[in-house]
Structure 1
Amino acid sequence: MRQMKVFDQKHIKNIVLLGSTKSGKTTLAETMMFEAGLINRRGKVEEENSVSDYHEIEHQRHSSVYSTLLHTEWRDYKINILDTPGIDDFVGEVVSSVRAADTCLLMVNAQTGVEVGDELVWQQIERFKKPTIFIVNQLDHPKADFEFSVESIFDTFGRNAVLMQYPLQPGQGFHQIIDLLKMVMYVFPEEGGRPEKRPIPEAEQERANDLHNALVEKAAENDERLMDLYFEKGNLEEDELREGLRIGMTNHDVFPIFCLSAKQNMGSGRLMGFIDNVAPASADLKPEPLTDGGELNYDLNGDPTLFFFKTINEPFLGKVSYFKVIAGKITTDQELYNPSTETTERLGQLYIVDGKKRHNVDELVAGDIGVAVKLKHTYTNHTLCLKGKNTILEPITFPEERLRVHIWSESKDENEKLGEALREIALEDPTVRVEFSNELKQLILSAQGDLHLETIKWKLKENYNLNVIWEMPRIPYRETIQRPAEATYRHKKQSGGAGQFGEVLLKIDPYFEGMPEPSKDLHVRHKEEIDLPWGGKLLFYNCIVGGAIDARFVPSIKKGVMEKMEEGPITGSYVRDVRVLVMDGKMHSVDSNDISFKIAGAKAFSSAFAQASPKILEPIYLVEITVPDHQMGDVMTEVQSRRGMILGMNPEDDHQIITTQIPQSELGDFSTSLKSITQGRAQFHWEFQDYQPLPANLQEEMVREATKLMEA
């Protein structure tokens, strides 16, 4: 077993590889490990032998599904690498990795320039304000266009991006890079690897000088002392340049641009050297926020504190928990406290990992990333600290769901097992949400998109031996009335002994806020105002005079009404916003009892409801869509085709925020359609707003279907 080196806090750098699918993230990770001598042969995604993409589902898909932790060592520095998926459906893996990293490496494919996936990833980088390096990769490809790629970076992310290098003759035969920090040309052998340093060719000298001066100016902008030196000398030394770039990166004001071919191993060593010498370590960054409003520094001498950013269940191993050491130093067999679950966890063994390979270590220090296995009560977003400290780091906020389905097992006997399996998956992946809807009588699974759902289906089959089916969930409609109505119902049942008898006359009205009290002629004896659990109100009045019905039976009448409101007379949906007045009735001295009046109350309510112009209400969602200007028309057409109402539009940079109201019944595949229309560029946020009447033609159709079901 290879002996693990011990690194001090300043010599540990944490990077995350980001970018669209096929941008070369996994290939770069392999190359960095190979270049450092940690692996003897570089694996390939398509050959299913890379260190990073080791899960079976990744082998089948030939692309990353999970973020993967690995590491490399370069010139006495340890670089922890988080390799992330490039597909937006797995955004949760990206968000947690960006939170854990110190520096983001955003890979740009030299064939295409900035892609939609890069723009989406940038939203997460901006959210955490992490130092960022742009990497133009695949410069050896015949269709590589470096100038176009760099312009797309400037156009999309702004002029704080600055060239560190540029290639000489990108495309087939690419093997030369001009470095603007060191002002040399690197010439790589045909098989890649260690380059030869040569002077910059005379034909390139003027361009290189101009770009070098631009780099110097950008580095000097970030520090008054460096700016004074720059004005005094007209240039900066290499170490001064590095310092200016480090300050600018730390402040999220400078974004260096590197170029390379990960596949040919040309440029990765220089990139790793820059990460070592310039990219910030954890201790250089802002303190981590705490839930109580305080902050926690990456302090080696502080109390041991861990933050868990990822949890995964590995076959044959169980729960694997990924953490970052925020403060202090942790050792094997150490016991720490979890304030969120109020439990103590023992860290039996500590590991650093390279994909599926685990390496034992005795200790990890602040700023490092490690793994623990089989923790009982600790999951993603939890903090471990010393008992009595109750330190809780601000949790990661994961994106809300974009797609909901009703899911069930092909075998009815396995639905309980399915619920447990989904809860385990949701603990592993915080972008998955699972709930059983008592109203709809359905198990609802929420996810990020179709591919995310298919991945969950694969896990259920392979890990839990469950075959599942899903469809769009039912819609939680509501029923109400539009005009007053009265009805009488007599319940009479005679058997051998005592019978059942109860007669109820009641009136129902549509309820609205501030409605006047009933006429004094009705002699209201008691009024009850009930806030219904599903929204809306029931006003229940006892207006019985002369002892027609004993007061002891009135609660049974109300119970019958409430039961019928829980299963509406028209479609079986909840009833809301009704005023019920019990006005008269009859009872029998022997046969009347609670069950008789409960049945009579329910039947009288149903009969009156049918005469009161019943109305079905549908849930309406407020949807905010952020869309590029040039795609706004297509999105508005899509919204209107879904019975949506445009409420407003607000410009934001080169985007528009469209605020709309859309019925929930029209939102089932909205995420998929929006992604297709905008090539994934549009994002949306949705939240329940209120209930509104269903259009008459749709209500008629819905009532017909409900009637058929009831008859069946």
Structure 2
Amino acid sequence: MKIYDDKHIKNVVFVGAHNSGKTTLAETMLFEAGLINRRGSIEAKNTVSDYHEIEHEKGNSVFATPLHTEWRNYKINIIDTPGLDDYIGEIISSIRVADTVVTVLNAQQGVEVGTEIIWNYIDKYHKPTLFVVNQIDHPSANFENSFKTVKSLVGNNAVKIQYPIIVDGAQCIIDVLKMKMYKFSPEGGKPQKLEIPEDQKETAAELHNELVEKAAENDEGLMELFFDKGTLNEDEMRKGIKAGMLNYDLFPVFCMSAINDMGSGRLMGFIDNVAPAASELNPEQSVEGKEIAPKKDAPAALFVFKTVHQPNLGQITFFNVKRGEVKANDKLVNSRNGETEVLNQLFIMDGKERQPVSKLTVGDIGATLKLKFTDTNDTLASPDSQINIKPIQYPPARIRRAVSAVNTKDEEKLSDALKKIHGQDPTAVISYSKESRQLILECQGELHLSTIDWILNNIYGVEAKFENPKISFRETIQRSSASNYRHKKQSGGSGQFGEVHMKIEPWYEGMQEPEGFNIRGKEEIDLPWGGKLVFYNCIVGGVIDQRYLPSIMKGILEVMEEGPLTGSYIRDVRVMVYDGKMHSVDSNDISFKIAGAHAFKEAFLNANPKLLEPTLELTVKVPEDVVGNVMTELQTRRAIIQGIDSANNYQILKCIAPEAELFGFSTDLRSLTKGRATFKTSFSSYQPVPNNVQNELVNKKELVK
């Protein structure tokens, strides 16, 4: 395979809402370039991009798929991404390594909810972006409306490169950069290149002049030329458009029909000649804050952006060459763990097809097999030049489920499979809760969860069940209480004896020291599960020997690990041990541990115990026209709305909500808003549950442990 230099490699990612036509566009570009002999289709389940069995079953893209095409001495690496935001991890990682983002729109809908969600990440990375209004030959297509939605999204820096018209019943595209009209046959393919019709010349000239002005604005030299000549030639316009894309100040808009092969060649030509290459972007930043200049003659550095596990091949690692060149059998060091990896084979991947190559240069995208110590987000670099490229930041999970194997014999197999799934998809987060003794899976939504379940069943042969995780409640007290307990046991020989008198009170930060006690010592314990135990030694006269106080505290802590109400952890209590008795022969550590535990439990139950529940900070971004419905839904979930902000046509609701009430919220919110709302959560605090909820939990014994 031909080796291209960094100036002739362009990396583009296709993003867009579900059914916008990204996979069809990728298929058409490969066909136009002659890399495939016939175009596959989604319906026939034979596209290069959507090759996974689950994608055939669901009828849509699930994974981001790297491909490549070659057009007029340029290599274009394409990453075709899913359109559903449950798979946002695939989309974000692809945007991260792209030089240009191609946002594909359905001409019937324009910018959709999925486009808006993805745009937030494009905007975060400030990647050069162009828009393609696809399906212009559909009876319900509306290019002008689609263009208006683009302007609503990105502002007045959206500029038409093309617009569609019908001439003599034929689909045509007028290109205002080249000032030509392309006329297509019903079969598409190579168009006739014609002069712009008389009735379109005025419109085309206006758009051409607008494009000239936009191009000139982004380069001082071009601006001077524009003032001198009043216009720019095509090469000068290309230079200005590229500068505008690099400055994130110009967003070209194209039109086409991918399914009927109309306009793909022109788009590829623009990517070749105008879209920026990796060497023209701002340099990558290392974790240490150093620039990683994309130079061919520098020590090699690769960034791993995707990992795939295939049963017949093992691990496939996809990387972007950020610096230098990499050759087959090179040895590189993983900056995260210091392990040396040997790149025994190098490939260009086109879906499931692998094309071996001898080397890859800076800017290129490739893959290798069976790395032992490398995961997504890792940096591989030459041994004498260690760097650590900034990792991809993935969004937090939106749903949590406890997962277990239906057959208990498969628990270890399930754990191993989930680790591999996380390695392939970092937005699927796996953890083990010691408190609830559950394996917890966090992911992006119900569709994401169903995909994980499919992979477990069909790839790893594990049948799993998913349940709502147990809620980690806490117990505390609301008033003071005193108690005493005598532990006495005699069964021949040495017996057991210990008597403890104590008072307990609710603890809060900054409270005054207890009154009426002769405080001899104080110990503050930060509890592993949050909150504190403050233990006071108030013994006078030696009624209990000092050496038994740690045993009393140990007994108290054992009760606090399994509270009397629901078996949940106890927090925020202070204890004053002020009296007791001991026996010169029968007293020992175990006696005082038992006495301390019983005395504490009795005092706790008499101190108006209260159950606390975890609450979350919940931020919901909602379109203005459905905010009332969402607020009603939040109120049914005991959420307290603390503030409302506005952003464009959205309302941002800031709430505090009980974790127990948010199960199923992701699905209900999507249903209420037709997928137009988003939300995020973070832990807030533990708050008292309502009395009726507490009584229900205590009665039902819904124990955490």
Which TM-score band applies after superposition, normalised by the shorter structure?
A: over 0.9
Give the conservation status (yes or no) of the 8 Å contact 1:507–1:608. yes
1:70-219 paired onto structure 2 within 5 Å: 70-169=67-166, 175-219=171-215
**Counterpart position of 1:24:** 21
**Comparing 538-547 and 191-200, the one that deviates more:** 538-547
| C-alpha deviation, 1:683, in angstroms | 2.1
The answer to whether 1:65 aligns with 2:66 is no
Counterpart-to-counterpart distance in 1, 2:409 and 2:583: 48
**Counterpart position of 2:504:** 508
The answer to whether 1:547 aligns with 2:542 is yes
- Which residue identity lines up with residue 583 of structure 1 in the other structure? Y
**Counterpart position of 2:428:** 432
Give the conservation status (yes or no) of the 8 Å contact 1:306–1:323. yes
Match of 2:627 among 598, 623, 632: 632
Q: Taking structure 1 as reference, are residues 173 and 589 closer, same or farther at Cα in structure 2, changes over 3 Å only?
A: farther
1:677-688 paired onto structure 2 within 5 Å: 677-688=672-683
Counterpart-to-counterpart distance in 2, 1:542 and 1:238: 87
The answer to whether 1:596 aligns with 2:597 is no
Counterpart-to-counterpart distance in 1, 2:626 and 2:246: 35
| C-alpha deviation, 1:625, in angstroms | 2.0
Give the conservation status (yes or no) of the 8 Å contact 1:565–1:574. yes
1:645-684 paired onto structure 2 within 5 Å: 645-684=640-679
SS in 1 for 2:306: strand
SS in 2 for 1:466: coil
1:211-360 paired onto structure 2 within 5 Å: 211-360=207-356
Give the conservation status (yes or no) of the 8 Å contact 2:502–2:579. yes
**Comparing 620-629 and 369-378, the one that deviates more:** 620-629
**Comparing 650-659 and 110-119, the one that deviates more:** 650-659
1:27-42 paired onto structure 2 within 5 Å: 27-42=24-39
Give the conservation status (yes or no) of the 8 Å contact 2:669–2:677. yes
| C-alpha deviation, 1:532, in angstroms | 1.1
Over residues 147-204 of structure 1, what are the superposed CA-to-partner deviations in whole Å (9 max), with x where a residue is unaligned? 221122122322211111111129x965211111111111122221111111111121
**Counterpart position of 1:568:** 563
**Counterpart position of 1:376:** 372
**Counterpart position of 1:493:** 489
Over residues 473-510 of structure 1, what are the superposed CA-to-partner deviations in whole Å (9 max), with x where a residue is unaligned? 11111111111111222223343554333222221111
Counterpart-to-counterpart distance in 1, 2:426 and 2:25: 28
- Which residue identity lines up with residue 54 of structure 1 in the other structure? Y
Counterpart-to-counterpart distance in 2, 1:167 and 1:199: 14
Over residues 249-291 of structure 1, what are the superposed CA-to-partner deviations in whole Å (9 max), with x where a residue is unaligned? 1111111111111001110001000100010000011101111
- Which residue identity lines up with residue 597 of structure 1 in the other structure? F
- Which residue identity lines up with residue 467 of structure 1 in the other structure? E
- Which residue identity lines up with residue 272 of structure 2 in the other structure? D
Give the conservation status (yes or no) of the 8 Å contact 2:568–2:703. no
| C-alpha deviation, 1:442, in angstroms | 1.3
SS in 2 for 1:241: helix
| C-alpha deviation, 1:541, in angstroms | 1.5
**Counterpart position of 2:618:** 623
Over residues 639-695 of structure 1, what are the superposed CA-to-partner deviations in whole Å (9 max), with x where a residue is unaligned? 222111111122223323221111111122222222222222222222111111111
| C-alpha deviation, 1:312, in angstroms | 1.2
Counterpart-to-counterpart distance in 2, 1:606 and 1:505: 12
Give the conservation status (yes or no) of the 8 Å contact 1:66–1:90. yes
Give the conservation status (yes or no) of the 8 Å contact 2:170–2:183. no
Give the conservation status (yes or no) of the 8 Å contact 1:139–1:174. no
SS in 2 for 1:247: helix
- Which residue identity lines up with residue 594 of structure 2 in the other structure? I
Query: Is there any run of 5+ residues in structure 2 with no aligned partner, and where?
Result: none
Q: Taking structure 1 as reference, are residues 317 and 173 closer, same or farther at Cα in structure 2, changes over 3 Å only?
A: farther
Give the conservation status (yes or no) of the 8 Å contact 1:12–1:80. yes
- Which residue identity lines up with residue 95 of structure 2 in the other structure? V
* % identical equivalent positions: 55
| C-alpha deviation, 1:709, in angstroms | 7.1
Counterpart-to-counterpart distance in 2, 1:141 and 1:652: 33
Over residues 42-64 of structure 1, what are the superposed CA-to-partner deviations in whole Å (9 max), with x where a residue is unaligned? 11112111100011111100100
Counterpart-to-counterpart distance in 2, 1:502 and 1:420: 50
Counterpart-to-counterpart distance in 2, 1:366 and 1:338: 18
| C-alpha deviation, 1:609, in angstroms | 0.5
1:602-621 paired onto structure 2 within 5 Å: 602-621=597-616
Give the conservation status (yes or no) of the 8 Å contact 1:481–1:613. yes
Counterpart-to-counterpart distance in 2, 1:212 and 1:108: 23
Give the conservation status (yes or no) of the 8 Å contact 1:219–1:245. yes
Give the conservation status (yes or no) of the 8 Å contact 1:140–1:174. no
Over residues 517-562 of structure 1, what are the superposed CA-to-partner deviations in whole Å (9 max), with x where a residue is unaligned? 2335x33222111111111111112222333333222211111100
Counterpart-to-counterpart distance in 2, 1:586 and 1:447: 56
Give the conservation status (yes or no) of the 8 Å contact 2:170–2:185. no
Counterpart-to-counterpart distance in 1, 2:149 and 2:26: 24
Counterpart-to-counterpart distance in 1, 2:195 and 2:50: 39
**Counterpart position of 1:12:** 9
**Comparing 586-595 and 364-373, the one that deviates more:** 586-595
**Comparing 194-203 and 349-358, the one that deviates more:** 194-203
**Comparing 40-49 and 485-494, the one that deviates more:** 485-494
- Which residue identity lines up with residue 194 of structure 2 in the other structure? R
| C-alpha deviation, 1:615, in angstroms | 0.8
Give the conservation status (yes or no) of the 8 Å contact 1:140–1:173. no
Counterpart-to-counterpart distance in 1, 2:669 and 2:52: 30
SS in 2 for 1:464: coil
Give the conservation status (yes or no) of the 8 Å contact 2:567–2:703. no
Q: CA RMSD in A?
A: 1.7
- Which residue identity lines up with residue 377 of structure 1 in the other structure? F
Counterpart-to-counterpart distance in 2, 1:198 and 1:483: 88
**Comparing 255-264 and 147-156, the one that deviates more:** 147-156
- Which residue identity lines up with residue 705 of structure 1 in the other structure? K
TM-score by length of 2: 0.97
SS in 2 for 1:330: strand
- Which residue identity lines up with residue 251 of structure 2 in the other structure? F
Give the conservation status (yes or no) of the 8 Å contact 1:103–1:132. yes
**Comparing 495-504 and 362-371, the one that deviates more:** 495-504
**Comparing 510-519 and 116-125, the one that deviates more:** 510-519
SS in 1 for 2:236: helix
Query: Is there any run of 5+ residues in structure 1 with no aligned partner, and where?
Result: none
Counterpart-to-counterpart distance in 1, 2:703 and 2:360: 63
TM-score by length of 1: 0.96
Match of 1:404 among 392, 400, 403: 400
| C-alpha deviation, 1:28, in angstroms | 0.5
Over residues 226-258 of structure 1, what are the superposed CA-to-partner deviations in whole Å (9 max), with x where a residue is unaligned? 122222222211111111111111111111111
**Counterpart position of 1:528:** 523
SS in 2 for 1:272: helix
SS in 1 for 2:523: strand
Q: Taking structure 1 as reference, are residues 604 and 15 closer, same or farther at Cα in structure 2, changes over 3 Å only?
A: same
